[in-house]
Structure 1
Amino acid sequence: MSAAPKPEILAAFEAAKGFMPAAEGLALYAAAVEAGGLGLPLLEVGTYCGRSTILLADAAREAGTVAVTVDHHRGSEEQQPGWDYHDPELVDPDAGRMDTLPAFRRTLHAAGLEDHVIAVVGRSPQVAKVWGRPVGLVFVDGGHTDEHAVNDYEGWAPHVAEGGLLAIHDVFPDPVDEWTGQAPYRIYLRALASGAFTEVAATGSLRVLRRTGGRV
């Protein structure tokens, strides 16, 4: 997993709103490039404003496939008013609620990647129930409660093709280091315990696991 994005893609990633550090972004990009070799879609759960979507979309473009990103665009728990990760610029003044969709579209437009992304606006469990094909990569970066993380894992991990990759963000084994809860860490442990996945890379809080067969 040594592939690196072009300078203009990395610049677009760094300019976009979001929380993923550059080192973790580079690791995600390398995983996406590898998974793109399967010729299957690359799927992301948790879009926010499209920072990580840029990397998946560019990897998909290079592989001749497509990136799919799933989000209701109303913000996760830690992005609501009163929380440290709330951005008042992302509040829809008419609805009085978070709406990250316009910022996401601007992000893709600025990066020149609109034609390589399918944006699904909806809640992850509902979309997963109607999804009907395998994917080369699932990147889980949605809500950080146990309910949401478990729903994302149970809904999407079974769709990872054999040889494909499951990437999980914000995995903090030490409670001292976590910032939104250890739900991602718990689904990471569950994936390993299932016997269906083997860890292949770890960068910061990003874990990448390969589907090696068996039931999730």
Structure 2
Amino acid sequence: MSLPSSLLGPVRRLTTAARHGWGPTRLADHAIRRHQAVQRLPELAGLVSMVAALKPNVVVEVGTRHGGTFSCWPTVAADGALLVSMDLPAGSFGGGSGDPVLARLAEFLRPGQRLETLRQDSHLPASREWLVGVLAGRPIDFLFLDGDHSLAGIRQDFETYGPLVRKGGLVAFHDILPDPGNAHIQVPEFWAELRGRYDAREFIDPPGRTSGGMGIGVVRV
């Protein structure tokens, strides 16, 4: 017998918390329900749990849009952490990052943390130059790639910004599962190439699902 729809949400949160902890589950739930994160709760909670264990000093997110997933990172980052958001103002893999979003990102920070934002194509050489300047010699601890979902685009983002991640740091990718209804999402093809070359972990809900879209993949570089 299936559960009533009114109970599915609470049960989902309980099962997610049992797997990934209450803190990550609460952050992921707020990101989805309050801050428009387009994520599955168990998948995002798994990633948040992994990042929390790292306690990063430098976080870079490529593809912030409304700030949903970004809302999680200041809470799990170190005191005094640098948090960077890079996003394309418009286009197929951009949009939604106007002044209200930028103000919201700043509100997520804890005292002592610093926010830097760039609103232009991450593929431009000037974008990498800007980030290198912002980092000022500091390596990235956690890099989240959720911008350009084309095969060429996600490969370029990884090849451009991946080398800036410290040894032992994390690089995460959203939308690693094929989605027959969204042929423009080609991250699964790149993820299939990448996961065999690194220490990789996947967060997929329900476990074992092989299609239907979304899913988060993480590599330790």
- The alignment's TM-score, normalised by the length of structure 2, stands at 0.69
1:93-108 correspondence runs (5 A)? 98-108=95-105
2:54 alignment partner, one of 32, 35, 38: 35
2:219 is aligned to 209
2:142 alignment partner, one of 132, 137, 145: 137
Asked whether the 8 Å contact 1:169–1:206 carries over to 2, the reply is: yes
2:6 is aligned to none
The offset of 1:14, in angstroms, is: 2.1
Asked whether the 8 Å contact 1:42–1:138 carries over to 2, the reply is: yes
Asked whether the 8 Å contact 1:129–1:155 carries over to 2, the reply is: no
1:50 is aligned to 67
In structure 2, how many angstroms separate the alpha carbons of the residues matched to 1:25 and 1:175?
Answer: 18
In structure 2, how many angstroms separate the alpha carbons of the residues matched to 1:170 and 1:49?
Answer: 17
Q: Which moved more, 1:111-120 or 1:46-55?
A: 111-120
1:82 is aligned to none
The offset of 1:66, in angstroms, is: 2.5
The offset of 1:182, in angstroms, is: 4.3
- Amino acid corresponding to residue 68 of structure 2 in structure 1: R
Give the number of equivalent residue pairs. 185
2:208 is aligned to none
The offset of 1:180, in angstroms, is: 4.9
1:66 is aligned to 82
Asked whether the 8 Å contact 2:67–2:101 carries over to 1, the reply is: yes
Describe the shift of the 1:119–1:66 C-alpha distance in structure 2 as closer, same or farther (beyond 3 A).
same
- Amino acid corresponding to residue 89 of structure 2 in structure 1: H
Give secondary structure in 2 for the equivalent of 1:125: coil
Gaps of 5+ in 1: 80-97, 212-216
1:146-165 correspondence runs (5 A)? 146-165=151-170
In structure 1, how many angstroms separate the alpha carbons of the residues matched to 2:84 and 2:38?
Answer: 20
1:179 is aligned to 182
Asked whether the 8 Å contact 1:42–1:68 carries over to 2, the reply is: yes
1:125 alignment partner, one of 123, 126, 135: 123
Gaps of 5+ in 2: 1-18, 133-137, 206-214
The offset of 1:110, in angstroms, is: 5.6
In structure 2, how many angstroms separate the alpha carbons of the residues matched to 1:113 and 1:101?
Answer: 22
In structure 1, how many angstroms separate the alpha carbons of the residues matched to 2:31 and 2:109?
Answer: 9
1:76-91 correspondence runs (5 A)? 76-77=91-92
Describe the shift of the 1:6–1:20 C-alpha distance in structure 2 as closer, same or farther (beyond 3 A).
closer
Describe the shift of the 1:166–1:144 C-alpha distance in structure 2 as closer, same or farther (beyond 3 A).
same
The structure number with the bigger radius of gyration is 2
In structure 1, how many angstroms separate the alpha carbons of the residues matched to 2:199 and 2:139?
Answer: 18
1:91 is aligned to none
Q: Which moved more, 1:178-187 or 1:46-55?
A: 178-187
The offset of 1:161, in angstroms, is: 1.2
Give secondary structure in 2 for the equivalent of 1:181: coil
Aligned-pair identity in percent equals 18
Describe the shift of the 1:208–1:100 C-alpha distance in structure 2 as closer, same or farther (beyond 3 A).
same
Asked whether the 8 Å contact 2:85–2:117 carries over to 1, the reply is: yes
Describe the shift of the 1:21–1:68 C-alpha distance in structure 2 as closer, same or farther (beyond 3 A).
same
Give secondary structure in 2 for the equivalent of 1:53: helix
The offset of 1:117, in angstroms, is: 2.9
Per chain length, whose mean CA-contact separation is higher, i.e. which structure has more relative contact order (CA < 8 Å, sep 6+)? Answer: 1
In structure 2, how many angstroms separate the alpha carbons of the residues matched to 1:113 and 1:50?
Answer: 16
In structure 2, how many angstroms separate the alpha carbons of the residues matched to 1:165 and 1:144?
Answer: 19
1:191 alignment partner, one of 191, 194, 199: 194
- Amino acid corresponding to residue 167 of structure 1 in structure 2: A
